[in-house]
Structure 1
Amino acid sequence: MTSPPADVPDIPPSLAARPHDARRGLPIPPVNIHPDPTGGGSHVDFTTINTITSTRLAVERRCSLCGEPMGYWVAFLGGPRAAELMRYADPPGHPECMTAALSLCPHLAIGRHRRARADRPGAGIIPPGSHGDKPDRYLLGITRTYQTRFIPEHGFTVYLPAPFKTVRAHVYGPDGRLRPATDTR
């Protein structure tokens, strides 16, 4: 594992302490570590969330990105529709870790970055009911509490936050990079 590149923004210490991906130099969240199908250890897949790990971390009130216990505030990151429905496919995390993900994760940070084609091995699975389209903005909602619901017929977990105390909007600028918007509440 290597260290993060020099041009990476400030990373919370708990996230910086994670193992790093050798190719990208990015911290590897625990939810992106998957058991090897051959039974020989594990592998990293940034395109898919390990539902067993993410559900366990959420139930234990641990950050999905760094794995450490979350304090009073927790954050959810998603598009406007997720915020409208107050229903998230991605698990919660520390507000600082989720803020770092906005610039670290290429899929989030770069407007033209697309997920791998579904027919490519390791491309991930789009959750049931999702359309897979990338939103034009991401909202970082901060709340105190949430519920975790496992949907057994889909093998999928949904996260239901309490009403947000704060919502920070991030939009793609003319350069195609995600940046804070002015319509934050």
Structure 2
Amino acid sequence: MDPSRELPDLMRSLPIDRHRGLPIPAVTARHPDGQPDFSTVDGREALRLASEGRCGICGNPLDSQIAFLGGPGAVAARAYHDPPMHESCAEASTILCPHLSRRDMRRVTDRRSTGVLPRNSAEEKPDRWVMWICRGFAAYVIDGMPLFRPAPYLRLRTFTYTDGGHLHETPDTSPRP
């Protein structure tokens, strides 16, 4: 796969992992040998970028509308461990990230870069992902891990898995006021 064909403009300057052929998000943790640990967010980098108003995926300045991507639990709690990002970067992640894009792809459990999952995180993959789009957020450190609380949403986008196990956006059928 040539990822440059599918990347939004904002992601085109990201380094590409030669082994997987995928862009390396700005907040991706690194193993001691420098290799990317795609299963783990570098919490310090996530907080730094968020405090500077930068996207956790591409590292560029955020727009007025900010996206968060997580499962139904993140939506219910209005709390995300993954940092704020551009909507286009979040959308690209639903296509490019093997863990998100394919139902049967499991996260590697070897966390040599940081050692732990954030408290209250689940190893089990949700059956759907929800993109929360808003105009702001607050950032906290809880038990040494970043936690992002988005402002009230402007809109939500839901992504579910097809019978074939690939992620796709589910049309919004909710009634409009």
Match for 1:139: what amino acid?
V
- The 3 A distance-change label for structure 1 pair 54 and 178 is same
Instruction: Indicate the residue corresponding to 1:28 in structure 2.
Output: 24
Q: For 2:131 and 2:58, locate their aligned partners in 1 and report how far apart those are by CA, in whole Å.
A: 17
1:30 is paired with a residue of what secondary structure?
coil
Q: Among 58, 61, 70, which residue is 1:69 paired with?
A: 61
Aligned to 1:16: 12
Shift of 1:25: 1.0
Structure with the larger strand share: 2
Superposition pairs of residues 74-153 of structure 1, within 5 angstroms: 74-118=66-110, 121=112, 125-151=116-142
- CA distance in 1: counterparts of 2:140 and 2:151, whole angstroms: 14
Partner amino acid, structure 2, of 1:99: E
Q: Could you tell me which amino acid in structure 1 is paired with residue 11 of structure 2?
A: L
Task: Give the Å deviation of 1:126.
Answer: 1.8
- Structure 1 residues 167, 90: CA separation in 2 closer, same or farther (over 3 Å shift)? same
Identify the match of residue 176 of structure 1 among 145, 165, 174: 165
SS of equivalent residue, structure 1 residue 47: strand
Tell me the CA shift for residue 34 of structure 1.
Answer: 2.9
Q: CA deviation at 1:184?
A: 6.0
Unaligned runs of 5+ in 2: none
Give the counterpart letter for 1:83 in structure 2.
V
Q: Is this contact kept in 1: 2:30–2:113, CA < 8 A?
A: no
Equivalence for 2:155:
166
Are residue 58 (structure 1) and residue 50 (structure 2) matched? yes
Q: How many residues align?
A: 174
CA RMSD of aligned residues (A): 2.1
Q: TM-score, normalised by structure 1?
A: 0.86
Q: Contact conserved, 1:138 with 1:171, CA < 8 A, in 2?
A: yes
Following superposition, the deviation at residue 8 of structure 1 comes to 7.1
In structure 2, C-alpha distance between the alignment counterparts of 1:18 and 1:63, rounded to whole Å: 12
Which amino acid in 2 is paired with 1:25? G
Shift of 1:147: 0.2
Partner Cα distance (1:166, 1:98) in 2: 14
Give the 3-state SS of the residue equivalent to 2:40 in structure 1.
coil
Identity of aligned residues (%): 37
Say if 1:141 and 1:166, in contact at 8 Å, map to a contact too: yes
TM-score, length-normalised on structure 2? 0.90
CA contact 1:115–1:123 (8 Å) conserved in 2: no
Alignment partners' CA distance in 2, 1:174 and 1:130: 26
- Over residues 106-137 of structure 1, what are the superposed CA-to-partner deviations in whole Å (9 max), with x where a residue is unaligned? 0000001101134x745963211122211000
Report the alpha carbon displacement of residue 182 of structure 1 after superposing the two structures with TM.
Answer: 2.2
